[in-house]
Structure 1
Amino acid sequence: METVDVVVIGAGVAGLTAARLLAGEGRRVVVLEARERIGGRVHSDRTGGHVTDLGASWIHGVDGSPVAEAVAAFGIRTVEFTVGSYQVDSRPIAYHGADGHRLDDDATRRFAADVHTVDATLADVVAGSGPTDTYRDVVERAVDLQGWDASRAERVREHLEHRSEEQYGVPSDELAAHGLDDDSIDGDEVVFPDGYDALPTRLAAGLDVRLRHVVHSVHHGDDGVEVTIDHGSLHAAAVVVTVPVGVLQSDDFVIEPPLPERHRQALGRLRMNAFEKVVLRFPERFWGEDVAAIRQLGPEGRWWHSWYDLTRLDGVPTLLTFAAGPAARAIRGWSDEQVAASVLEQLRRLYGDHVPAPTSVQVTAWHDDPFARGSYAHMLPGSTTDDHDDLAVPVGGRLHLAGEATWTDDPATVAGALHSGHRAAERVLGRDVPIARLWSGALSGTT
């Protein structure tokens, strides 16, 4: 049996961050990755010569972000695109009313002002919510407090429902009232014209990363940790587990002895979402050049209500939309052609029959990925913000959990994954390590 200092399970950003910091401090680290690639839920596809981020796309706010610092230090190109947090305004957004016609500037401003008004009320309503309240509950209260007519109230209610779906991939009655407390950004948002996978690629440089190594069980005790894979096992003093919540909750990944009750309760109040990307490339930019995003208001936008213009990334006319929550569940098992036909039907309501057939369509299937089982985790009603941190409490000083779902301040993001990997490395070492060593220091034993 091979013996190392630390085994890291998962070569996503959390795992690579922990491994890189530990290796930089002289620990012998092995990273075990089930897939044939690194990156985890950061996955850049290059089919047909086009770069498409099928997983994470944005840095949601570059100010004070260690992800942005790492990207800048590594020389990775970015493009500003501040519409990734379902903003109601701040960048040109083409809003279409329930009848499909585009709203004029005055109507758009009035709608945005209504959303801002409810958001200001919502903060206090969420703060006073009960432990089992849902996001839909608090939205209803905040909207009702405005005293608006039914149509005006419904448009804002729809926007906040879609925000829940786009931000966490669930309808608002399945999300905790405080589940969007972290829904704020500092500074511009940016995307990656050359692919977000440049970040995990740089983090992995010089590490012992073993692909196609599916971990079946982790046994921990006084004599250390034994990690079992298809063709053997490894022994280590400590293990950092960065698999997604969906894998932790499955029968295919066993931890023995089981996680303590505190961890199990926290894990039980989290769920993987249903959230897929649909990327369509077209022969022409039929939607015009004056918008960063397109939005459909009204009942026709139940599934397809938002499209994002990614043309700026490589000059090819491209729209990104999301199958989020109910839509993702409904299209599960559909072919790419079926999904495209459904999306095009809605686009043609807005732009007419001259909308051309797309030259390519890509639809993700994270929910069916056995090593992800969804895109990211969300908080169920009855959860608390402490559940994220509780999941990361070390077990016996040997077993450490990390990943986006274990970081309270910014879960469901690459930033949360990176922070959690940093914390896990410090806990293994028993001392502080500057996070900047991720991009400023050479690995021990490497050049």
Structure 2
Amino acid sequence: MTDFDTLIVGAGIAGLTAARILASQGRQVVVLEARDRVGGRVWTSRSDGEVVDQGASWIHGVDGNPVADAVDAFGMRTVEFTVGSYQPDGRPIAYYSPTGTRLSDEATERFVSDIYSFNEYFATTIATSAPHTSFGEAVETTFSQLKWDDDRAMRVREFLRHRTEEQLGVWLDDLDAHGLDDDAIDGDEVVFPDGYDELATHLAQGLDVRLQHEVTRVTWTPGGATADTRHGPFSATRIVVTIPIGVLKSPGFVIDPPLPEHHSQALDRLEMNAFEKVFLRFPHKFWDDDVYAIRQQGEAGRWWHSWYDVSDAHGSPTLLTFAAGPCARETRAWSDEHIANSVLDALRGLYGERVVEPDRVHVTRWQDDPYSRGSYSYMTVGSDRSDHDDLSIPIENVLYLSGEATWTDDPSTVTAAVKSGHRTAEQILGRPVPYDTIWAGDRS
């Protein structure tokens, strides 16, 4: 048994952020990581010169964002690629009708106008919705007020369903009505042509990180805490648990004694999603010019409804689509080839024989990852926005929970992970700490 000031379980972005701040303030910190790498759900694969962010890809809004400040300080290269949280316009989007014909500019303008009109009423519906109202129920309540014809309502209903799937990896009836309240983007969004995992690499510099040290049990008392690993136990005055809530809720991870009721109830109301990326690299481009996204309406877009041209970031003709919500669950056992063929069939409905076979396919498998059990968190029906922050309340000043699921304003993001890790460090230190402490003294 080795004694430290602070044990941190998980070398994801939240854990590394907290560790880096605490270590800079003279605390003796060790980070215990189950994987053979740092970064957690920020993971970049590299093969044959191709860089693919299998996990997090974006900074969603660089203005006033400490992640963007850290990236700048670390000298990481970025490319602007603003998706706008599944907005209907703002960037060139090629919309295709249920029959596979591209909408005219006039038809697209009418469709986008309908979405904005709906959103005005929808905001009031959400604000006045009763507890335990689902996002889907709020959608239908709003449509009952509008009294649109069936086709008009169906196109907007589809858009909203795809929005919850693509943003949170969840069917709209399984998401709380307030599940997208924190859907604000300040400034451009950027991606990383050299890989987002460079952030984790920089954050880990100089830290005591023990890889392949899976923690299966945390035991705590008012006097300290112990983490059990196959390499033996580690003890400290305090312990910070930053693992994804999918693992935190699993039977293979034990906290003894269990979390207090207030924390456990908040945790019960949050869940991990089903969200996978599908990258297809092609020998040449066959899709629309001068658009950043392609979207399919109607039943043909039930699963594969949105494709993003990420060629500039990848350096070769590449489309990105998502298996999200029901699609991710139903295709979970499919091979990469089966998934790719299904996506190609959908593209052929738009481009016919112009579609060529991809020369590279990447499909993520976060649902099957034992150290994440999903991609990120969402609010189940009946949850409250305060559930995120409630998880972060220190327990006897010994046990702390941190990570994207514990941050209210923009959960499910790397920004939330950094901000939660920063907050946890401040809680332990008992005083404010500037964000620039995170990147000060980088030795890489």
Calculate the TM-score normalised by the size of structure 2: 0.98
* Structure 2 counterpart of 1:114, one-letter code: D
| Counterpart check, 1:327 vs 2:346 | no
134-143 vs 291-300, which deviates more? 134-143
Aligned residue number for residue 138 of structure 2 = 138
How far 1:354 moved relative to its partner?
2.6
Query: Distance in 1 between the 2:54 and 2:63 partners?
Result: 25
Aligned residue number for residue 162 of structure 2 = 162
**Contact 1:407/1:419, CA 8 A, preserved across alignment:** yes
Query: Distance in 2 between the 1:246 and 1:273 partners?
Result: 9
Aligned residue number for residue 418 of structure 2 = 418
- SS, match of residue 227 in structure 2: strand
| Counterpart check, 1:215 vs 2:202 | no
**Contact 1:9/1:31, CA 8 A, preserved across alignment:** yes
Listed as ranges, the matches of 1:4-403 within 5 Å are 4-83=4-83, 85-403=85-403
**Contact 1:224/1:237, CA 8 A, preserved across alignment:** yes
How far 1:84 moved relative to its partner?
5.2
Query: Distance in 2 between the 1:142 and 1:69 partners?
Result: 40
Query: Distance in 2 between the 1:232 and 1:315 partners?
Result: 45
Deviations 1:130-184 (A, max 9, x none): 1010000111122332222110111001000100101110100000000000112
How far 1:441 moved relative to its partner?
3.9
Query: Distance in 1 between the 2:373 and 2:78 partners?
Result: 29
Identity %: 59
Query: Distance in 1 between the 2:126 and 2:402 partners?
Result: 28
* Structure 2 counterpart of 1:58, one-letter code: W
Query: Distance in 2 between the 1:345 and 1:353 partners?
Result: 11
Aligned residue number for residue 428 of structure 1 = 428
* Structure 2 counterpart of 1:207, one-letter code: L
**Contact 1:58/1:84, CA 8 A, preserved across alignment:** no
Deviations 1:302-357 (A, max 9, x none): 00000000001133000000000000000011100000000000000000023111
Structure-2 change in CA distance of 1:63 and 1:107 (3 Å): same
* Structure 2 counterpart of 1:38, one-letter code: V
* Structure 2 counterpart of 1:287, one-letter code: W
Query: Distance in 1 between the 2:145 and 2:34 partners?
Result: 50
**Contact 2:92/2:290, CA 8 A, preserved across alignment:** yes
**Contact 2:215/2:227, CA 8 A, preserved across alignment:** yes
- SS, match of residue 46 in structure 1: strand
**Contact 1:294/1:308, CA 8 A, preserved across alignment:** yes
**Contact 2:84/2:185, CA 8 A, preserved across alignment:** no
Query: Distance in 2 between the 1:132 and 1:222 partners?
Result: 36
- In the comparison of the two structures, how many residue pairs are matched? 444
- SS, match of residue 212 in structure 2: coil
Deviations 1:380-422 (A, max 9, x none): 1111111001111111101000000000001000000100000
Structure-2 change in CA distance of 1:84 and 1:363 (3 Å): farther
- SS, match of residue 58 in structure 1: coil
RMSD across aligned positions (CA): 1.1
Deviations 1:166-220 (A, max 9, x none): 1110100000000000112111111111111111111111111111110011111
- SS, match of residue 67 in structure 1: helix
**Contact 1:76/1:198, CA 8 A, preserved across alignment:** yes
**Contact 2:403/2:416, CA 8 A, preserved across alignment:** yes
Calculate the TM-score normalised by the size of structure 1: 0.98
Structure 1: tracts of 5 or more residues without a match:
none
